[in-house]
Chain A
Amino acid sequence: MSKQPLAPLDLAELLRVEPLSRASAVHLPDPARHVHEVVLAETFDRLHHAAPHSLVVLHHEAATGGWALAAALHAGWERNVSAIVVPRPAMSSSSAVLAERLGIALLVIEDEPVDVALTLAGQVSAPQAARALRVALCAERLAEQSSIRGVLGVLNSELAPVPVALTVGGTVTAGRAAGAAEKPGGTTVCVEINAAGRPWAELVAAVPAKNTAAAGHVESVLRLARLPLLAAWAQTRVHSSAQAAREQAAFGLLRRLVAEPAAAAEPADVEVPPWTGELGWRVEGRNRAVWISPLTATDGAPAEELTQLVRAAWQRHRPDWPLVADSDGWISWQNLPDSTENNDEAGMRRALGAVTHAAESHALVLGVGDAHRGVPGLMRSVTEARLAAHVARDGGPGSVQWFDQVGARAALAWLPRGQIAEVADLCLAGLMAARDREALVDTVLAVLDCGGSLSQASARLGVHRNTVLSRVARAKELGLVFDDPARRLALHVLCYSLASVWLPGRS
């Protein structure tokens, strides 16, 4: 943190702490104006000798009202003072007009001007103390906030005129977008916010060129905001049942958006609705979906408890990715900026690697879709991921399947394998009765997969070719005659179904 202990206070800083926090700013042309010293002007003579960049508190003769304030404003303008502070009784509407005309900051106080001047002098002589006080006050205000929007509101009012934005992955999700915009000559202060040890978001403030000295202070205030932000963010995540329902409904809406205008316009043209931002979703750019589903297919939605577990596991590892329960699984997606060609598969792999353990322990499988643009792209990716997840079920708990590696096998994902396996009990009773039926089915499946090549099948199974030969002969005896072209597809599907049904039973 680049502290600049000698940086003088500016008007905006003084206006945040007592006693000027109670003052009303009649005219404030430049809140970033520095204050080098405080002058308690009792006479006009004193006023005419005020140093530039001083803050002049009018008092006694110089604050008698009427012409006195007009003359003081003119003297202040001549002396290039930072601001004129005047007691309320001396204030008049024409003076406000004159202050505006001369471009002099004019503050009106209700308190005793001498007390105000003394306090201000103390603050100006020890800027760090005043800043510390201000930071403490700011911390109190931040602690009162319970929403991300509230925290950003406090930051923006506290640091004004410096704009502050909260960005997640480079996209502004809250605060003033100007905060994330680079300004010529200005300094950008970034504070990273980590959730569960991983970067989740950044607080970005654009400090204008002329008060770069305040950058250190800006940074300390931004740091203060990290915990309240995390707390607010966590809170929104913890209210999960309501949140889950909301997210589910929102995702349904998104899906409908893609389905409805499809006839009229290009599917890629679907505009991203603004409420996705409120949910913390990012849909602009390209999206790569992940479908998480239970290993065994269930009818209808998975249990609520399981949703909670998945959500908790997901948030621990990938807090910035959304998680939406959908039909028999959960959807999440990785958002990639439109500009980069890089698909960031490594990022996805890291994410998947992190959740694999949890997926294994909860008997889940994951499917990963391809990256596509916009809302329609997201929907497409979701469908791909879901197919991939079905294929992944073959790999056992915790297995991950990428859609681009699935290819045509995806067609098999929807096969009612359980029912097909039950058919085997009827039409291949001999085989099903055999003790070594699993070895026989595996061998026949391998031979069929390898297009009838015994040597390839033996290599795949890791047994001798003769073993394969003898097992095939025995299978044929038991009714698994795959030589007949008319029955080959049926038998192949049957073997595939049996193998995948038996798979979970094996170690």
Chain B
Amino acid sequence: MTTRYIGAATTIRADDVPALYEGGKFYSPAVAPERTTLLSWTESLLERNGPVTLVRPDAVAPETRCVAICVIGSGAALADLPPSGDEFALAVRELERLTRHRFDAVYPLAAATVSGIAPLAAASQLDVPLIDADGMGRTFALIHHTAMHLGGLSPTPLVIRGVTGENVAITVPGPARADTLLRSNVDVLGGWAALAAYPTTAGDLRRAALTGTVSRLINVGRLLLESSDPDVLVARLAAVTGCRRIGRGRIVELEHLSRPTDFTIPTHPSSVVIDEIGGQGRQLRLELRSEVVAVFADGALAAAAPDLICLVDVLHGEVSTLDSLEPGDLVDVLVMPADAVWYSAEGLAMVGPASHGIPLEHPRHR
């Protein structure tokens, strides 16, 4: 199979779904969702309904109304409580009812993990195009950690719909409160929910969203599915994503609860210590929250959020998920720049190292 690069406007077919899913895993290497029923279900949906049109925001009329789709909550809950299938479409319908507008297109809130697939399923069900843009370009923990928020768009009104068939609509004046309200409601709905948020227009998305992130996901996914040699894989990924390898090494230590936790961001802080093999033989130290938030090489900050840091298992030539790490594993530490908007002062303040309790200057700022 040759790599088929997809460009600005095309369609996503059923056989593109696995690549989309692999790319989604790569852009959020934290905890891989089990191969959920969502994947095969979306595939059959596309087979039945035909391909979904993927358009760039500047390829549709600026007044086209768009809504962001996302899976919110924990991946484990999603595996325990599989979606019935209509949550995403019905969340959009509920939001349409509240805003008294129809949505002509959907887009992913975060083009990564299952949240990259859910908008595709919703677009197929609603028979609308999927916008090739998203709000994060990866995943961040909180709902207002988006380029749209930085661009002045409000996440609310928003609707979440649980597998139980219940809707929760939230409208807040300050976006930071939205996430707090959301989380307690998600727990009640069974740990995960379908989210429809950031109702806006394609014109605003041109300005405020990150364009091309869905097609990038498919391109990266194809590379991952094809290559098993880690060196070839890293070289190809570098061409598509601009990532670079910080070092290759063996995991020597996993430290759990290595830092005091705060409550703004869920999940436990822990650390992975890697002895670099070759090169300068540095000690690489990975700081983990829900993702790898920083890499220290011999104590010097080498990469930090919002950089996307991931580990590639050298023996298997695939991305390691954080819950599968064991001492003794041989891994490549890759760092990928996030979208430029995240390195602005506002962006760094929101998702930079300081937001993870690391009050050091970002290495890309020095």
Query: Which A positions have Cβ atoms within 8 angstroms of B?
Result: 43-44, 61, 64-68, 70-75, 77, 92-94, 97-98, 101-102
Interface residue tally for chain B (C-beta within 8 Å): 22
**Given the complex, which residues of A lie within 8 Å of B260, measured CB to CB?**
64-65
A-B contact pairs, 25 of them (CB 8 A): A44-B360, A64-B259, A65-B258, A65-B260, A67-B258, A67-B259, A67-B287, A67-B294, A70-B285, A70-B298, A70-B299, A71-B299, A71-B360, A72-B299, A73-B299, A74-B299, A75-B299, A92-B271, A94-B271, A94-B273, A97-B283, A98-B298, A101-B298, A102-B298, A102-B299
Assess whether B299 is in contact with A94, with CB atoms less than 8 Å apart: no
Does B246 sit at the interface, judged by CB under 8 A?
no
| The one of B255, B259, B269, B357 that contacts A94, using a Cβ cutoff of 8 Å | B255
**Given the complex, which residues of A lie within 8 Å of B296, measured CB to CB?**
67, 70-71, 74
Query: With A and B bound together, what is the CA distance between A98 and B54 in angstroms?
Result: 49
**Given the complex, which residues of B lie within 8 Å of A98, measured CB to CB?**
283, 285, 298-299
In the complex, which of the residues B258, B269, B357 has the most CB atoms of chain A within 10 Å of its own CB atom?
Answer: B258
Given contacts A73-B299, A77-B299, 19 further A-B contacts (CB under 8 A): A44-B359, A64-B259, A64-B260, A66-B258, A66-B259, A66-B269, A67-B271, A67-B294, A67-B358, A70-B285, A70-B299, A71-B299, A74-B300, A92-B255, A92-B258, A94-B253, A98-B299, A101-B283, A102-B298
Assess whether B285 is in contact with A67, with CB atoms less than 8 Å apart: yes
User: Hey, what's the 0/1 contact readout for B35-63 against A, CB within 8 Å counting as 1?
Assistant: 00000000000000000000000000000
Distance from A134 Cβ to chain B, minimum over Cβ atoms (Å): 32
Q: Provided the pairs A71-B301, A74-B296, A101-B298 are in contact, do residues A66 and B360 lie with their beta carbons within 8 angstroms? A: no
Q: Which residue of A lies closest to B258 (CB)?
A: A66
**Given the complex, which residues of B lie within 8 Å of A43, measured CB to CB?**
359
Does B170 sit at the interface, judged by CB under 8 A?
no
**Given the complex, which residues of A lie within 8 Å of B126, measured CB to CB?**
none
Q: Which residue of B lies closest to A72 (CB)?
A: B299
Distance from A110 Cβ to chain B, minimum over Cβ atoms (Å): 19
Q: Which residue of A lies closest to B295 (CB)?
A: A67
Instruction: Please provide the chain B residues from 269 to 318 with a CB less than 8 Å away from any CB of chain A in the complex.
Output: 269, 271, 273, 283, 285, 287, 294, 296, 298-301
**Given the complex, which residues of B lie within 8 Å of A67, measured CB to CB?**
258-259, 271, 285, 287, 294, 296, 358
Q: Which residue of A lies closest to B294 (CB)?
A: A67
Q: Which residue of B lies closest to A74 (CB)?
A: B299
Does B252 sit at the interface, judged by CB under 8 A?
yes
Query: With A and B bound together, what is the CA distance between A102 and B282 in angstroms?
Result: 10
Assess whether A94 is in contact with B359, with CB atoms less than 8 Å apart: no
**Given the complex, which residues of A lie within 8 Å of B255, measured CB to CB?**
66, 92, 94
**Given the complex, which residues of B lie within 8 Å of A101, measured CB to CB?**
283, 298
Q: Which residue of A lies closest to B253 (CB)?
A: A94
In the complex, which of the residues B253, B258, B294, B299 has the most CB atoms of chain A within 10 Å of its own CB atom?
Answer: B299
Distance from B332 Cβ to chain A, minimum over Cβ atoms (Å): 20
Q: Which residue of B lies closest to A78 (CB)?
A: B300
Query: With A and B bound together, what is the CA distance between A74 and B253 in angstroms?
Result: 19
Q: Provided the pairs A67-B296, A74-B299, A94-B252 are in contact, do residues A61 and B359 lie with their beta carbons within 8 angstroms? A: yes
Distance from A62 Cβ to chain B, minimum over Cβ atoms (Å): 9
**Given the complex, which residues of A lie within 8 Å of B269, measured CB to CB?**
66
Query: With A and B bound together, what is the CA distance between A65 and B255 in angstroms?
Result: 11
Query: With A and B bound together, what is the CA distance between A77 and B299 in angstroms?
Result: 9
Distance from B103 Cβ to chain A, minimum over Cβ atoms (Å): 43
Assess whether B285 is in contact with A68, with CB atoms less than 8 Å apart: no
Query: With A and B bound together, what is the CA distance between A97 and B285 in angstroms?
Result: 12
**Given the complex, which residues of B lie within 8 Å of A73, measured CB to CB?**
299
Distance from A56 Cβ to chain B, minimum over Cβ atoms (Å): 13
**Given the complex, which residues of B lie within 8 Å of A74, measured CB to CB?**
296, 298-300
Query: With A and B bound together, what is the CA distance between A93 and B296 in angstroms?
Result: 16
Query: With A and B bound together, what is the CA distance between A43 and B174 in angstroms?
Result: 31
Distance from A73 Cβ to chain B, minimum over Cβ atoms (Å): 5
Instruction: Please provide the chain B residues from 226 to 281 with a CB less than 8 Å away from any CB of chain A in the complex.
Output: 252-253, 255, 258-260, 269, 271, 273
Distance from B182 Cβ to chain A, minimum over Cβ atoms (Å): 29
